[in-house]
Amino acid sequence: MESEDAVGQGTRPGEIAVYQDRAGRVQLEVRLEGDTVWLSLAQMATLFGRDKSVISRHLTRIYATRELSRAATVAESATVQREGRREVARRVEYYNLDAILSVGYRVNSKRGTQFRIWATGTLREHLLRGYTLNERRLRERGIEDMQEAVSLLARTLKRNELVTDEGRAVLEVVEQYTRSWQLLLEYDERRLPESPRHPVAPSATLSLESARRAIASLREAVGPQGSRAGLFGHERGDQLAAILGNVEQTFGGAPLYPSAQARAAHLLYFLIKDHPFTDGNKRIGTLLFLDYLRRNGLLVRPDGALRLADTTVVALALLVAESEPKQKDLMVRLVLSLIEDRKP
């Protein structure tokens, strides 16, 4: 912290700041506590260049005339001092900024003004850091409470068999997602990243012809079960072609979605939310999402395990389908967080 005639060195909230005038004649370790600064009698004598007896007489008059309240401006603190070979604990009185300035106006107004400017700036920074720290702790506490509540809800529903297999899959995704929030406290004020930490450059696209062949295979495998006859995979106009083109589009000559992960996430979202088919949007969206991951080497992890379990994929499709349009970015980030390798 720096003023016209004085500079202060760094401080941590609730501890010590170092005051030094620009000429380097005075250097003091100033206590920051209780929204003010504190100096001992000896420190005030050093600050103003006067004997301790002079400072003491002025303080006596200030309190005798009730200019200030002693109870409100004086605090005692135990200080360990070395006397010869012994360390002795002494009770030392410290005076707050009001008392310091009252003395300063009487003995050395220029130094008092310099110290006031420095102290005001230092306290502002001190209080701001303290507020930021408390705000961060409150946010962390809120995240922890939310995680515990989700965990309790999940255990209760599972143990009492109140959810279906699909419901359990959704709960598992939500639990995994809330756990990831704790890790993201250190990233951009706990927001989910808008792009993967380990982006993979797209190496393959999904053409309209390839998508239609995959849909035809799924239609044959599904048959009439769970679908309205003849409507499963029936395209609505040119929506499927438009979606496939959208994930590959550019803006200003640069890819709008530069990573394969981002393109896959948006593909899943658009296929489910834009309803390009008369029936089967979730199943087809899931199929083409997985196909896109496969084409770009993202379906299987380096250790040979599937990146996403079947139940996780089902849950993702359900969550996307039930989401509000305003939650689109949240859903995309959710997908990105679940297909990450989670390496440091």
Q: Are residues 60 and 74 in the same domain?
A: yes
Half-sphere CA count of 300, side-chain side, radius 13 A? 6
Q: Is the same domain home to 122 and 142?
A: no
Alpha carbon separation from 114 to 3, 52, 111, 290, 334 (Å, rounded): 8, 20, 5, 67, 53
Whether residues 317 and 231 share a domain: the answer is yes
**Domain-terminating residue out of 83, 98, 132:** 132
272 and 284 assigned to the same domain: yes
Question: Is 203 contained in some domain?
Answer: no
User: How many whole angstroms from its chain centre is CA 343?
Assistant: 19
Q: Does the residue 196 lie in any domain?
A: no
Asked whether residue 140 falls in the same domain as residue 239, the answer is: no
Do the Cβ atoms of 44 and 95 come closer than 8 Å? Answer: yes
Tell me the helix, strand and coil percentages in the chain, rounded to 5: 55, 15, 30
| Whether 28 and 117 share a structural domain | yes
pLDDT (tens, 9 = 90+) of the chain, 344 residues, equals 333 344 444 433 356 778 877 666 777 888 888 778 889 999 999 988 899 999 999 999 999 999 999 998 998 876 666 667 777 777 889 998 889 988 988 888 788 888 888 887 777 676 556 555 555 555 555 566 566 666 666 676 677 676 777 777 777 777 766 665 554 444 444 445 566 767 888 889 999 999 999 999 988 887 665 555 578 889 999 999 999 999 999 888 889 999 999 999 999 999 999 999 999 999 999 999 999 999 999 998 888 888 888 878 888 888 888 888 888 888 888 888 888 754 43
Half-sphere exposure of 101 (CA within 13 A, CB side): 16
Q: Are residues 155 and 105 in the same domain?
A: no
Both 142 and 100 in one domain: the answer is no
Domain count for the chain, please give it: 3
Examine residue 202 and state whether it is found in any structural domain, yes or no: no
The whole domain housing 247 covers: 208-338
Is 195 inside any structural domain?
no
Distance, CA of 208 to CA of 226 (rounded, Å) = 25
Same domain membership, residue 143 and residue 75: no
Give the amino acid at 75.
A
